[in-house]
Amino acid sequence: MSLDHRLDPELEELRRTVEEFAHDVVAPKIGDYYERHEFPYDIIREMGRMGLFGLPFPEEYGGMGGDYLALGLALEELARVDSSVAITLEAAVSLGAMPIHLFGTEEQKRTWLPKLCSGEMLGAFGLTEPGAGSDAGGTRTTARLDPDTDEWVINGSKCFITNSGTDITGLVTVTAVTGTRDNGRPEISAIIVPSGTPGFTVAAPYSKVGWNASDTRELSFDEVRVPSANLLGERGRGYAQFLRILDEGRIAIAALGTGLAQGCVDESVKYAKERHAFGRPIGVNQAIQFKLADMELKAHTSRLAWRDAASRLVHGEPFKKEAALAKLYSSTIAVDNAREATQIHGGYGFMNEYPVARMWRDSKILEIGEGTSEVQRMLIARELGLPVA
């Protein structure tokens, strides 16, 4: 494969378009939404009109005919300004629509994908439970098939589910135990649950440290009934399907983390030029210059890592290790850069009116969501051929 990560004209035009949108539309508004813990519906509608929610999907389903590289470029540019908006797009595409695209029947695709691609509707994926996060195999939510009605009957709960309770959320795909395998392990399947289904309850939004303009909820299922045709993919393959979704999603999160890290550089360079101390800009001080040089180095390296993983995915090459490497590195340096940006800004970095305060609050979750840093290290070690305990 080529090691040339320069963008072709079409992708560069996309990147530039999203960059302008982030600075001209998102930046002036998002701080107020963030402080109010309010979902930015007007921004999301504009992103839908731009086609961002359909970037990696075929045109026949209302998509833009792009790929994960295109999605990553959009996520990086959005996250340079704000992560709440970026994670809304990431979750809607990677977790909401992508499972239906990859594993759905033709009828499921034609039913759901057009609205998901347009941003008219958001989808979510319910995997995490109070007792099953990194250990997704510990799922306790159950689904039994009622032979009399040919319906799945779902009981259980999910937590930390992004995009699950907005006014435009249309579905949540839920992993549930649907039986027991011959080896005694649970059989886990994925089932589409439309919003508003009786017995499906969406809790109030969480009070979060960061990502305050995004939607995150706890879900509960009490004798929730959906048609058997709502099974997504093959019965018993739900866990394997989600592992595939996570592998791809890590590239998207790596792009988002890269954007946050680069945004910290952007804001800190600007501040270092404007802020004067002892009669001169603080940017002339070598201590500040060295911090910024290291921050730029980390963001640049992170960008190469996620683009390499995305390129491997696009070209049909193995990418599991590269996705884990990119996700681990980008999340680590996002936290590093956010901390250093706050330090450069001094007391102002602790004030919410400055973007770096938002970036500092938003960065830590990147080391946890879509596979913790510890899980990434386990995956990398396995890909290196080390023995599994």
Catalytic residue ranges = 370
Tell the burial category of 157 from Cβ atoms under 10 Å away from its Cβ (0-12, 13-18, 19+).
middle
SS3 content of the chain, % helix, strand, coil (to 5): 55, 15, 25
Tell the burial category of 315 from Cβ atoms under 10 Å away from its Cβ (0-12, 13-18, 19+).
exposed
Mutual angle of helices 286-314 and 320-345, in 10-degree steps? 160
Structure tokens at 30: 């998002």
Spatial distance between the Cα atoms of 70 and 359, rounded to a whole number of angstroms: 23
Q: What is the DSSP string of 33-73?
A: HHHHT---HHHHHHHHHHTGGGTTS-GGGT--S--HHHHHH
Spatial distance between the Cα atoms of 264 and 284, rounded to a whole number of angstroms: 18
Q: How far is CA 381 from the centre of its chain?
A: 24
Spatial distance between the Cα atoms of 137 and 187, rounded to a whole number of angstroms: 9
3-state secondary structure of 186: strand
3-state secondary structure of 126: strand
CA-nearest of 188, 200, 197 to 161 is 200
Which amino acid, 334?
A
Give every CB contact of residue 135 below 8 A, 6+ residues apart in sequence.
none
Which amino acid, 379?
L
Kindly list the distances between the CA atom of residue 37 and the CA atoms of 28, 195, 196, 209, 216, in Å, as whole numbers in the listed order. 16, 22, 23, 11, 11
Give every CB contact of residue 385 below 8 A, 6+ residues apart in sequence.
none
